[in-house]
Amino acid sequence: MRVTSSFFYNNLAYISAGILYVTTESYFNLNGTIFSENEAGEISTIDVKKSSFAHNNTINECDFTYNKAVRNTISLMYSNTIITRCFFKENEAIFRSKNIFMGFSNVLITNTDFILAETNNINTLINYEDNSIGSFMFVITDVNLTIIDTNFINGYA
């Protein structure tokens, strides 16, 4: 699957994968695409359960902003994924990570920005219903993760 210069805005998924669900040896290439204000009970934008190991998933020059989910903006399980020149801003999750969850995967992230709003008040954070683990990423079993020239700004969990 190939998606270029597209806009996914204000989509709602009752359970998971507000935009894209990938499984059974499939793979995708996303280029110059915006994912904004999407919501889901589980993963708000992309849910990969078992993609192709012969081909990489690529996410290039994409923006993920103001997406909301109970768990994760993107979930990568059993995948080879390259994320390049992307922008993650103000994504929300109550559990796991506000942005990317990874397990049993090979992931390369380069020239990407992860940004949350600055907060200087610990009481605001304590009163906020946030049980997330990892402001920007939650990495579990058997992940080969490489991060190059990437910024992480104002994270909290």
CB 112 within 8 A of CB 84: yes
The answer to whether residue 157 is domain-embedded is: no
Give the residue among 149, 48, 148, 61 at the shortest CA–CA distance from 101.
Answer: 48
Q: Is 155 exposed, middle or buried (0-12, 13-18, 19+ CB in 10 A)?
A: middle
Maximum distance among all alpha carbons in the chain?
48
**pLDDT tens-digit map of 110-157:** 999 999 886 655 555 555 566 667 779 999 999 999 999 999 998 877
Q: pLDDT, tens digit, for every residue of 8-42? A: 999 998 877 888 989 888 999 999 999 999 998 88
Asked if residue 53 is part of any domain, the answer here is: yes
Residue 109 lies in a domain: yes
Rounded Cα gap, residues 133 and 95, in angstroms: 7
Least confident piece of the model among 2-6, 16-20, 86-90, 140-144: 16-20
Phi, psi (rounded to 5 degrees) for 127: -80, -15
Residue 98 belongs to a domain: yes
- Would residue 16 count as lying in a domain? yes
101 domain-assigned: yes
Report if pTM > 0.85: yes
Phi, psi of 124, deg, nearest 5: -60, -45
Q: Give the pLDDT score at 61.
A: 98
> 51 lies in which domain range?
2-152
Query: Which residues lie closer than 8 Å to 121 by C-beta, 6 or more apart?
Result: none
pLDDT value, residue 16:
76
Give me the number of domains the chain comprises: 1
The pLDDT, as a whole number, for residue 75 is 93
- As a 3-state breakdown, the chain gives helix, strand, coil percent values, each rounded to 5, of 5, 50, 45
In a domain, 74, yes or no: yes
